[in-house]
Structure 1
Amino acid sequence: MNSEQKQLIKATIPILQSSGAILTDYFYKRMFEHNPELKSVFNMGNQANGKQKHALAGAVLAYASHIDNPSVLIDILKGIGNKHVSLNIQAQDYAIVGKHLIASIQEVLGDVATPELVEAWTTAYNELAKIMIDIEAGFYLKNTQTTGAWNGWRSFVIKDIVNESEEIKSFYLYPSDGKEIVSYTAGQYISVQFFVEQLGLLQPRQYSLSTAFNPEYYRISVKRENAISEQPEGMVSNTLHQLNVGDTVNVSAPAGNFYLQDDKAPIVLISGGVGITPLLSMLETNEKNTKNKTVWVHGCRNNAVHAFKDSVATIEKESDWLETYIFNENPDENTEHKIIKGRVDLKKCKEAILLENARYYLCGPAPFIKAHYETLIEFDVDKANIFYEEFGPQSVSLN
């Protein structure tokens, strides 16, 4: 890409800032109209609620803003690449996306989309696609070289289902072929794909692995998303909650760049709601291995929706390296667990979490992550020691 083309890309930044979501909304509608088979690749729930179009708009804006040096986005791109591999996205799929993205720029921007601008964005997209294809090729290659790993989808059977709270169920997934499964690093996820009758489509979702690695099975713990106000119930999570022992689902190999660092540093695990799942895997892995000093901070609405409370309490009781702080918005007076009333407030456990060279792991919805990330920065925690995972399309970019 030459300097003139980069200037043209940067000149579109104000348009992307003001109307990026309009462009991406149009793009998705156009692509699904011409390539409806892609509906089984994309999360159609996030299409309906608008999260995906805003996430893509933010990504396009970030790329335009860093067009002089896109390498600064490499960590974000690796995160996207992990998700693409878990969905079995292939190099040829980028051509389809590029075709509809460039056509959308022309059709939405009209006369503003001069031939020179269209050529600049075509070149920019092709360069980004090349970066992504190369990143993902590395992940695919690693899967072919790792014992127990695979590319694409593999059938797994549900052999056990456990109620962890009023909203969360754990599913124990065993490979249907009985062959070996690949290990993972605590904090990573798998994609799970199954048919959703209400949509008439196969739908994939990413779910964090919620326990330390066991060579026999993968465990995911899924919250049933109920209807709230104008927000409809989650069709995919409710469909999964209706599956039975003996049913099969398609599963991708573990992926993700949010994981427990392999060192002796203290660990601070901060979660909200179902964000507990990857952090529980980290906690259990630490218990099995290094037993680093750990502070567990978790928040949820009440005792009834508090998953894994007994498991964490047992670990704390049997260890001298774990300290817990549990926040409930509406605590149950009869609970056996020590509870702090209200939402998670790191100021109430500041002394406990400010450990020398500690690694901080945040997981939950975007507002939760942003709020507690900012609090940690106020506490003078080094950004390099803060790691986070946002469930759903990535909209948080803090480091």
Structure 2
Amino acid sequence: MLSNETIQIIKSTVPVLEQKGKDITTRFYSLMFQDHPELLNVFNHSNQKNERQQTALAKAVYAAAANIDQLDKIIPVVKQVAHKHRSIGVKPEQYPIVGEYLLKAIKDVLGEAATPEIMNAWAETYGVLAQVFIDTEKEMYESAEKQAGGWEGYKNFFIDRKVQESDGVLSFYLKPVDRESLPSFLPGQYISVRVKQFEHLHIRQYSLSDAPNEEYFRITVKQETNKEGESGTVSSTLHHFAEGEVLEVSAPAGEFVYETTENPVVFISGGVGVTPLVSMAKKAVEENENVTFIQAVKDRSHQLLANELKQLNLRYMACYEQATDEEKASGACQLKGYITKDWLQEKLTSTNSHIYLCGPVAFMKVLYGYLVDMGVTKEYIHYEVFGPSVGLA
């Protein structure tokens, strides 16, 4: 436990963390990778390049400082990050390294303002927070390994089948090389896939896009490109892999999962965000008669996994950003253009629904705002952001 003196010192640094948090985390990654390039095999290079990781870490450090006297408030975030750490293989011995360079970065950026009292307080605080992560992840590692069909670290899977879902999107059916039965997973969870590209290992998380079964994992992968038109490192590599080639895969992980309820259930997806929601929907219809699925896509050619959804016992609605008059008239889509609050309010008659959102961050922020304005309880709105965590509120 932290002393009251330490807590007060940490809280006194909140204003400067709000102002210079990203400077600190940028300096932190620069210093750490310079001295420990082996950690580049763990961290996402793309998120480093576009600075999403630096921003997310800055927000996390700020939140930890602001809530240091109420650590229970950050436990949900700890669990979410711990799932990611377990899936990529973060180990206890790496935490002291992170702590060393985070403190160096704080001192570098704050300069003379980083007094011995402040540095000591942050060293003590980091130690407490690191131990929370280590203890949480230890339980997750043990659970993943000991469950039926589970394993430690990464396991070799081969691509049994590739299916073209749309232009630039493929589904991969992955089976274990050892032919052992697979562990079950909670609908909505993901796996980490690790591939070698140039001199580094690269790890990405992909949602499991089908219902749990003992034979295969299915992931549905969009070939990503950045603003400069460069292809995504891992997604591009996967798209070029042939059936029969081998990947390294972690056991399923993740906190964004379907929760059994008697209330109405609504799934709203944007683009490739449909992938975890398909798995959830297949579970939801087994136990709930009031399930709605709203799928927002650019156009009909991007309507991923729609045929599977239409075969389920649920109310399905498609929203095309770009639709022809014929498509609208024929019922191929129920909305032409973007989802509006009025349209959503018309289609969702109950504010007591449990609602699951997944898609681009901008899309989810707009939908989250609509739902809150409509009177939906915030605790009933569940969402996942692909990549470093950000809030929608």
Q: How does the TM-score come out when normalised to structure 1?
A: 0.94
Partner of 1:381: 376
Structure 2 matches for 1:10-21, cutoff 5 A? 10-21=11-22
Render the CA deviation track for 1:168-215: whole Å, top value 9, x for unaligned: 110011011111211011111111111123xx3110101100011121
Deviation of 1:346 (Å)? 4.4
Q: 2:254 corresponds to which letter in structure 1?
A: G
Partner of 1:395: 390
Structure 2 matches for 1:223-302, cutoff 5 A? 223-228=222-227, 230=228, 232-287=230-285, 289-302=286-299
The CA distance in 1 between the partners of 2:291 and 2:154, in whole Å, is 36
Partner of 1:170: 171
Matched, 1:93 2:91: no
The CA distance in 2 between the partners of 1:226 and 1:141, in whole Å, is 36
Structure 2 matches for 1:340-379, cutoff 5 A? 340-355=335-350, 357-379=352-374
Deviation of 1:221 (Å)? 0.4
Partner of 2:133: 132
Cα pair 1:41 1:204 within 8 Å, conserved: yes
Partner of 2:194: 193
Q: CA 1:311/1:334 → structure 2, altered by over 3 Å: closer, same or farther? A: farther
Cα pair 2:368 2:392 within 8 Å, conserved: no
Structure 2 matches for 1:103-142, cutoff 5 A? 103-142=104-143
Matched, 1:144 2:158: no
Structure 2 matches for 1:306-345, cutoff 5 A? 306-315=303-312, 319=313, 322-333=314-325, 335=327, 337-345=332-340
The CA distance in 1 between the partners of 2:369 and 2:392, in whole Å, is 12
Cα pair 1:303 1:332 within 8 Å, conserved: no
The CA distance in 2 between the partners of 1:75 and 1:292, in whole Å, is 30
Render the CA deviation track for 1:87-142: whole Å, top value 9, x for unaligned: 11111111111111111111221111111111000011001001111111111121
The CA distance in 2 between the partners of 1:11 and 1:397, in whole Å, is 26
Matched, 1:208 2:207: yes
Unaligned runs of 5+ in 1: none
The CA distance in 2 between the partners of 1:334 and 1:224, in whole Å, is 30
Cα pair 2:295 2:317 within 8 Å, conserved: yes
Deviation of 1:225 (Å)? 1.1
Q: CA 1:135/1:354 → structure 2, altered by over 3 Å: closer, same or farther? A: farther
Any idea what SS the aligned residue of 2:287 has? coil
Partner of 1:38: 39
Q: 1:217 corresponds to which letter in structure 2?
A: Y
Deviation of 1:276 (Å)? 0.4
Q: How does the TM-score come out when normalised to structure 2?
A: 0.95
The CA distance in 2 between the partners of 1:6 and 1:291, in whole Å, is 46
Q: 1:201 corresponds to which letter in structure 2?
A: H
Partner of 1:74: 75
Matched, 1:305 2:297: no
The CA distance in 2 between the partners of 1:150 and 1:397, in whole Å, is 34
Unaligned runs of 5+ in 2: none
Deviation of 1:325 (Å)? 2.2
The CA distance in 1 between the partners of 2:104 and 2:351, in whole Å, is 52
Q: CA 1:273/1:396 → structure 2, altered by over 3 Å: closer, same or farther? A: same
The CA distance in 1 between the partners of 2:303 and 2:98, in whole Å, is 41
Any idea what SS the aligned residue of 1:380 has? coil
Any idea what SS the aligned residue of 2:166 has? coil
Render the CA deviation track for 1:303-328: whole Å, top value 9, x for unaligned: 1222112222333xxx3xx2122111
Deviation of 1:247 (Å)? 0.9
